[in-house]
Structure 1
């Protein structure tokens, strides 16, 4: 018994230390950096997230398919496969567990700041995907791309290589290891609540399933994600709509809590959560980043491999990924939690989401969430593994991939049974750290993004991209 108490005490001290670092990182620095960059890019690109929204929608859903062309390491993926791989990473536990922790820690008003971060993030992710396309290259016959290549271009010389290597290390830990622990943790607790199965058993099963996909390489990753993403989004949406419709009379009050809580948290829920405006902003933006990933430098790894004629085309498709994830799907969980009235601070994470669905579906509510979180998390694990793999290959070469695959599987198994606070705190820390080199690089290359965008805005007959970009 003493050993268990000692472990809990040490874990609490670790959580407090990481939370202190996260406070310094998230309370001011990253809020200013991410919001400022989103505003800056929106202005420089003439608010592309609004003026090109229709074209973004058309390019995204005009190419949707459950049986697309075969992806390959040599030729990359179709535009939709790249988006599906990207969304598979974006639509994860953030949509089911992350938003729940955001509302407990930052009140319902945190959702407003999540939405705002997504709107600004659409401009950021457009720049990320466009630069990833522009600076991609071919190495040993394989198409490669991602932030490390535009980071090197931004800083140039030895400094560029050092910063690119630092980003790679941070991403491998943030997504491949810590991030996937978060995914497994939420699944483990959800399955335990729904079926009484030990989180450790669930973690081991997920680790084995993930390894099977990892071994298949980019071809299997693209094939799995392009099929899972549309189906899981549809299942989740239908279940959520049923809960919301059953509590339709509470929808207006729920939106009031979101907008009032963004600026006056004490005015909602009778102040029982005891949060401040600063907390609402901090947890809204940090959980928003974890959900849509705009600015992290993760999704450009998938967008770099898309087979498109112009870099801006995939930039527009990337914008729709943020919109689908945070503006369309995330409110489903938000309204389910708020309309059912279960937000009281006593329950958090995936258990809070399950409690909300149980108000309508009874015991089946926990099962529905467990199924949803499994597919959401598993698809994210695949996407984040893929992003991490690109950086492992960049740092250590192709021979290190089997070791990386095994390590990711081990972290998945371990993460399923850890304390939820510790896992989320670690994820926030590494997510925040990897934002900085990525955002600075985009800022330094903003003129490049503007130039590419202006070229794309020209009439088709005047565009010069066939010579200027595809041979870059």
Structure 2
């Protein structure tokens, strides 16, 4: 039954919905992910992003690394290898394409999450699909928002937390011979120390951990590419040819290349699943579109950069032979490829990379679960502390348990989660485009940092406190030439 539901959801329904929303909003927004691609870097720079300050706000960069922590995981290492094995090198081309379209989907869902966010008393915010469903579509859709929150809690808060713990413990055991129970206990202790500090402590840890793990993985890739620079043109030719069925002996032909590329891209970057918007909503920014643009960049980081790094490591090695039936699959192929380039220590490096990727994802999954509980009960600290204790125990249990059935169940609930979110995105296309138009109009008038005025959108029933700027930030905006802030604190 689980296999049937997974095939139905991921093989048919979601592939159609995800691709349709991605392409649809790309066209409707006039290719927003390309128009503002350069601005992604400026928003994150010191002159564009509000930094962490005395008011307790989280910056745009912190929200970005939190979402990257969730998007970048085992799928970037093992999943890409599976896509190449089953779909051939051409799967990478289609993975790139769906990643570029997914940037538009992520812009839409994360802009909506910012628009409908709610202010907390400590300078932070809450938001996500449950919030933009009930506030954007009306209270009559509260049941759908509640259903989404339950699915989010089950899928990410519980199931995927246990699965990531299992991945970390088994990988560490294989690489260093450490018993999974000891790894599980150690991991549970570290996770507990972090999550009891709340979203701000998670953000501070991710702010350091995510860049280190991503840069380290990319650095080894750059070195490998440099060592094999003469084979790079040949690699790109192979990717393009097999993507269009011009290499019949590679993988399963053009159909398999397209299917595996689409699935890998969609599964890896999570655009459309509704998970990243929960994190995107925490940022303190002057306009919702700012964080939409930044979160589109996180899809680019995940799919076009990190996934490509794994693909290059594999395709430039002798561990993978196009069209051969004896290729190893999954994490073993990535380990074998790096070992082929640098020696046996490459296997250990891949295991350590997987450890860091999975650990950061556990922190991300915890926050998603906490945010789903917050939708039902805003101030019940006993409930939140109970959930934190449950997560610590779950991390320890997950490390020592075979979770095959849990994984199959979580795939189904994640598929249902995506269906709910995509339906909401389709219904909220117009508000999303309206917020983008507000940003575009200000930008065209020469306003260097567009600001959001809730008074201009009374029909959206927004939380005005969530869009109050601190006095010093108002002064900074007013000092910028050609800038005319339209809201007040």
TM-score interval, normalised by the smaller of the two chains = 0.7 to 0.9
Give 1:381-460 correspondences, 5 Å limit. Answer: 381-397=362-378, 398=380, 399-417=382-400, 425-459=408-442
TM (normalized to structure 2)? 0.83
Displacement of 1:377 in angstroms is 1.3
Larger radius of gyration: 2
In structure 2, the residue matched to 1:376 is 357
The Cα offsets for residues 238-292 of structure 1, whole Å up to 9 and x where unpaired, read as 11222333333443343344333334397244x5xxx364544443333323321
In structure 2, the residue matched to 1:326 is 303
In structure 2, the residue matched to 1:150 is 132
| Alignment CA distance shift 1:247-1:290 (3 Å) | same
Displacement of 1:301 in angstroms is 1.4
Q: Is the 8 A contact 2:96 2:303 kept in 1?
A: yes
The Cα offsets for residues 148-190 of structure 1, whole Å up to 9 and x where unpaired, read as 11111344233x1111111111112222223233433332333
| Alignment CA distance shift 1:395-1:262 (3 Å) | farther
What SS does the aligned partner of 1:355 have? helix
Q: Does 1:336 align with 2:313?
A: yes
Aligned mate of 1:32, from 13, 16, 35: 16
Q: Is the 8 A contact 2:70 2:365 kept in 1?
A: yes
| Alignment CA distance shift 1:138-1:442 (3 Å) | same
Q: Is the 8 A contact 2:319 2:327 kept in 1?
A: no
| Alignment CA distance shift 1:293-1:186 (3 Å) | same
Aligned mate of 2:151, from 149, 166, 170: 170
Give 1:20-99 correspondences, 5 Å limit. Answer: 20-62=4-46, 69=52, 75-99=56-80
Whichever structure has more helix as a proportion of its residues is: 1
Give 1:219-238 correspondences, 5 Å limit. Answer: 219-238=200-219
Q: Is the 8 A contact 2:286 2:451 kept in 1?
A: no
Displacement of 1:316 in angstroms is 0.8
Q: Does 1:350 align with 2:336?
A: no
Give 1:81-230 correspondences, 5 Å limit. Answer: 81-138=62-119, 143-158=125-140, 160-230=141-211
Q: Is the 8 A contact 1:310 1:456 kept in 2?
A: yes
| Alignment CA distance shift 1:400-1:107 (3 Å) | farther
Between 317-326 and 260-269, the greater mean CA deviation after superposition = 260-269
Displacement of 1:467 in angstroms is 4.0
Query: What is the aligned length?
Result: 448
Displacement of 1:450 in angstroms is 1.0
- Distance, in Å, in 2 between the alignment partners of 1:146 and 1:466 is 20
Q: Is the 8 A contact 1:64 1:80 kept in 2?
A: no
| Alignment CA distance shift 1:345-1:168 (3 Å) | farther
Unaligned 5+ segments in structure 1 are 1-16
- Distance, in Å, in 1 between the alignment partners of 2:302 and 2:54 is 24
Q: Does 1:247 align with 2:231?
A: no
- Distance, in Å, in 1 between the alignment partners of 2:24 and 2:118 is 28
- Distance, in Å, in 1 between the alignment partners of 2:279 and 2:230 is 41
What SS does the aligned partner of 2:309 have? helix
Displacement of 1:125 in angstroms is 0.7
Q: Is the 8 A contact 2:318 2:340 kept in 1?
A: no
Q: Is the 8 A contact 2:42 2:48 kept in 1?
A: no
Q: Does 1:309 align with 2:286?
A: yes
Q: Is the 8 A contact 1:178 1:427 kept in 2?
A: yes
TM (normalized to structure 1)? 0.86
| Alignment CA distance shift 1:416-1:258 (3 Å) | farther
- Distance, in Å, in 2 between the alignment partners of 1:288 and 1:410 is 32
What SS does the aligned partner of 1:443 have? helix
Displacement of 1:24 in angstroms is 1.3
| RMSD, matched Cα | 2.8
